[in-house]
Amino acid sequence: MSGYFYLDVLLKLASEAENPLPVYVKGCIEQSLHRIFGEIGGHTTVDVLKFDEKRHRLILRVPEEFYVKLRAALTLIDKFQGIPCYFHVQSASRVLISLVDTF
């Protein structure tokens, strides 16, 4: 196995001001990890492999041992750049190719 988990995630914003940039989405997720689990517990690598600006969908990659923490951090995010939001995990898998049809 690859040692990673892959997640197909939808970012749902309360208002559509403008299309978010992937770097800001990643920063929002990392900030949530650090806020919830602290500097050591939340320190991991979260990679945005693909980002669809129009539909606000992204494919994330995270090491297996941080999968549960990432899901918790995504669940607890309630604002993106001051706009109320939520992240919805459409699907998750240890194999990236299984997410290709859903994206």
The proportion of the chain whose per-residue pLDDT surpasses 90, expressed as a percent, equals 63
3 phi and psi, to 5 degrees?
A: 85, 10
**Domain 4-93 is classified in which CATH homologous superfamily?**
Ribonuclease P, Pop5 subunit (3.30.70.3250)
Band of pLDDT at residue 39, cut at 50, 70 and 90? confident
Question: What pTM was computed for the model?
Answer: 0.87
In the chain, % helix, strand, coil (3-state, to 5) comes to 35, 35, 30
Pairwise pLDDT comparison (45 vs 103), residue with the higher score: 45
pLDDT tens track for 54-84: 889 999 999 999 999 999 999 999 999 888 9
